[in-house]
Amino acid sequence: MQVSAPVGARTYIAATAALGAILVTGAAVAVAGDGVERPELLLLFGAVIVLSERVPLFVIQDHEGEGLALSDVFLIAMAMLLPPFEALLGFTVAMLVAEVTRRASPTKGAFNVGQFAVSGAAAIGAMHAVTDFDTVGLVQVGAAVFGGVVYFAANTALVAGVISLYEGLPFMQALANGRNTRLFVWAGNVSLGLLMGLTGAAHSWAIPVAIAPVGMLHLAFAAHIRERRAHERMDGLFHTAVAAHSPMGVDEVVSALTESARALLRCNDARIDSGPPREGELGVPIAGMGAPSWLIVADRRGVEPFIRADHDLLEAVAAIGATAVENAALYEQVESEGEKMANILASSSDGIFSVDAAQRVQAWNPAMERITGLAVADVIGGPCTVFAARDEQGSLVCPDTCPGRCGFHGEPVPLQVTTPAGEARWLNCTYSPMPGGGYVVVARDVTAQKEVDDLKADFLATVSHELRTPLTPIKGFLATLRDKDDDFDSEQRVHLYEVMQRQADRLERLVTDLLDATSMDQQQSPLFLSEELHWGTAAARAVEVFQRQEPDREIAFDCPVELPDVVADEQRAEQVLMNLLSNAAKYSPVDGRIAVVLTHDEDEVRTTVVDTGPGIEPGHRERIFERFTRLGDYRTRTSGGAGLGLFIAKRLVEGMGGTISVDDGPDGGAAFSFTLPVVEHAAKRT
Indicate which CATH number applies to the domain containing 293. 3.30.450.40
- State residue 267's pLDDT score: 81
Tell me phi and psi for residue 424, to 5 degrees: -85, 135
311 and 356, same domain (yes or no): no
Q: What is the pLDDT of residue 683?
A: 55
User: In terms of domains, do 393 and 327 share one?
Assistant: no
630: CATH:
3.30.565.10
Is 226 domain-assigned?
no
Question: By C-alpha distance, which of 37, 201, 211 is closest to 133?
Answer: 201
Angle at 510 between CA 505 and CA 515, to 5 degrees: 120
Angle value at C-alpha 379, between 375 and 381, nearest 5 degrees: 145
Residue 299 lies in a domain: yes
Tell me the one-letter amino acid at 614.
P
Closest CA to 119 of 82, 81, 161, 83: 161
Q: Do 352 and 339 share a structural domain?
A: no
Asked whether residue 512 falls in the same domain as residue 615, the answer is no
Chosen domain end from 184, 209, 234: 209
Q: What is the pLDDT of residue 605?
A: 94
The helix (run of H) or strand (run of E) holding residue 130 is helix 106-130
Tell me if 35 is assigned to some domain. Answer: yes
Q: Which of 182, 209, 236 is the C-terminal boundary of a domain? A: 209
Q: Are residues 25 and 128 in the same domain?
A: yes
In a domain, 235, yes or no: no
Contacts of 319 (CB under 8 A, 6+ apart): none
As for how many domains the chain has, the answer is 5
Give the torsion sign (CA, 631, 632, 633, 637): negative
Q: Which helix (H) or strand (E) holds 298?
A: strand 293-300
Residue 229 lies in a domain: no
Intervals of the chain under pLDDT 50 = 1-3, 60-66, 632-639
30: CATH:
1.10.1760.20
Q: Measure the CA angle with vertex 352, ends 351 and 358; round to 5°.
A: 135
Residues 468 and 573 in one domain: no
Phi first, then psi: what are they for 614, rounded to 5°? Answer: -75, -10
Q: Are strands 282-286 and 439-445 parallel, antiparallel or unpaired?
A: unpaired
End position of a domain, from candidates 445, 477, 496: 445
Same domain, 339 and 400: no
Q: What is the pTM of this model?
A: 0.42
Tally helices (H) and strands (E) across the chain. 19, 17
**Same domain assignment for residues 372 and 339:** no
468: domain CATH number? 1.10.287.130
* Residue 655 and residue 608 in one domain: yes
Give how far Cα 360 sits from Cα of 381, 396, 408, 621, Å. Answer: 5, 19, 18, 44
Give the closest residue to 378 by CA, choosing from 401, 353, 413: 353
CA nearest to 588, candidates 607, 609, 614:
614
The b/e string for 270-290 (b: 16+ C-beta within 10 A; e otherwise) is bbbbeeebeebbbbbebebbe
Length of the chain: 686
52 & 172 share domain:
yes
Q: Are residues 81 and 172 in the same domain?
A: yes
Task: Tell me whether residue 224 is in a domain.
Answer: no
Beta carbons within 10 angstroms of residue 23's beta carbon = 22
- Judge if 41 and 188 occupy the same domain: yes
Work out the end-to-end distance of the chain between its first and last CA atoms, rounded to an integer number of angstroms: 79
Which residue segment(s) compose the domain that 680 sits in? 531-685
pLDDT in the model for residue 635: 39
Q: At 489, is the secondary structure helix, strand, or coil?
A: coil
Is 231 a member of any domain?
Answer: no
Which residues is 284 bridged to in the sheet? Answer: 295
Residue at 307 is within a domain: yes
- pLDDT confidence of residue 637: 43
